[in-house]
């Protein structure tokens, strides 16, 4: 099966990920080209994606690259995303181990919430998940039948809401319900939310509650 879409991949991407990406693109029937991109790591039509491992995410917070990269993407593409891949807990542990500096999970979510005020951030457990999503993102964003571009500027100033709406299947209304019912005003409060509290929210069932907990880096039984 072939596709009319062409993907441009940044030639500075991690070598192993480039190899994996090439295999995926060939399997999907996509034309692709390696080049030095001005914005993002992957570009397809009117959509751009910046790829970060969780360790990369932490590093780019400290050096200021992440904010600049995300704003540049938002200013030049109607559809713009930051894909964050890997375990948050492992990244925080490895960061402390190698740099001797602590980086708590709340710092991670705070940075993510800040990004969500002007771009779209999605988290994945591994590259396989991320590339599966990438395929659909590129197809949907370049579908000529689509006419609506979600205005990122309309996201709330509440960091809890911004984080919640980045979770697949958590709509704006559901995020509003969670924040309102439990009076969530900061990420520390959001991290204290457990399954019982989530199930008390209208529109949140077992599977959605588990999805929220996983996004928060919590174990789900």
Q: Using 50, 70 and 90 to split pLDDT, how confident is the model at 198?
A: very high
**Angle at which helices 105-115 and 88-99 cross, to 10°:** 110
Q: Using 50, 70 and 90 to split pLDDT, how confident is the model at 39?
A: very high
Contacts of 85 (CB under 8 A, 6+ apart): 51, 52, 53, 54, 123, 124, 125, 126, 127, 129, 130
Q: In the beta sheet, which residues pair with residue 6?
A: 31
- Over residues 40-80, the pLDDT tens digits come to 999 999 899 999 999 999 998 888 888 888 888 888 888 99
Question: Is residue 35 predicted with pLDDT exceeding 90?
Answer: yes
The token pair that represents 155 in the structure block = 């996201």
Coil, helix or strand for 150? coil
Contacts of 150 (CB under 8 A, 6+ apart): none
- The region of weakest confidence among 48-52, 59-63, 124-128, 168-172 is 168-172
- The region of weakest confidence among 17-21, 22-26, 58-62, 84-88 is 58-62
* Residue closest to 163 by CA, chosen among 131, 193, 130, 199: 193
Start-to-end CA distance of the chain, whole Å, equals 39
Residue 38 is predicted with a pLDDT of 92
Q: State the burial class of residue 42 (Cβ atoms within 10 Å of its Cβ: 0-12, 13-18, 19+).
A: buried
- Over residues 88-107, the pLDDT tens digits come to 889 988 988 888 888 888 88
The token pair that represents 150 in the structure block = 């979600």
**pTM (2 d.p.):** 0.67
- Which domains can be identified in the chain, with CATH numbers? 6-152 (3.40.50.10130), 156-215 (1.10.150.20)
* Dist CA 190 CA 185 (whole Å): 8
Q: What is the mean pLDDT of residues 108-122?
A: 88
Contacts of 132 (CB under 8 A, 6+ apart): none
């Amino acid at each position: 099966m072939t596709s009319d879409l062409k993907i441009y991949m940044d030639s500075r991407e991690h070598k192993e990920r480039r190899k994996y990406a090439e295999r995926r693109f060939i399997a999907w029937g996509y034309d692709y080209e390696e080049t030095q991109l001005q914005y993002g790591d992957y570009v397809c039509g009117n959509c751009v994606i910046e790829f970060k491992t969780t360790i990369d995410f932490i590093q780019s917070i400290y050096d200021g690259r992440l904010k600049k990269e995300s704003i540049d993407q938002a200013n030049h593409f109607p559809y713009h995303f930051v894909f964050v891949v890997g375990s948050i807990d492992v990244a925080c542990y490895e960061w402390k181990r190698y740099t001797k500096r602590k980086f708590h999970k709340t710092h991670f979510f705070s940075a993510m919430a800040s990004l969500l005020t002007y771009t779209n951030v999605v988290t994945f457990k591994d590259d396989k998940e991320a590339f599966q999503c990438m395929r659909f993102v590129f197809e949907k964003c370049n579908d000529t039948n689509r006419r609506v571009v979600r205005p990122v500027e309309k996201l709330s100033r509440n960091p809890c809401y911004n984080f919640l709406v980045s979770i697949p299947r958590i709509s704006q209304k559901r995020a509003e319900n969670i924040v309102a019912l439990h009076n969530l005003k900061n990420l520390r409060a959001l991290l204290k939310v457990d399954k019982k509290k989530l199930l008390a929210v209208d529109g949140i069932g077992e599977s959605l509650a588990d999805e929220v907990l996983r996004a928060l880096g919590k174990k789900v039984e």
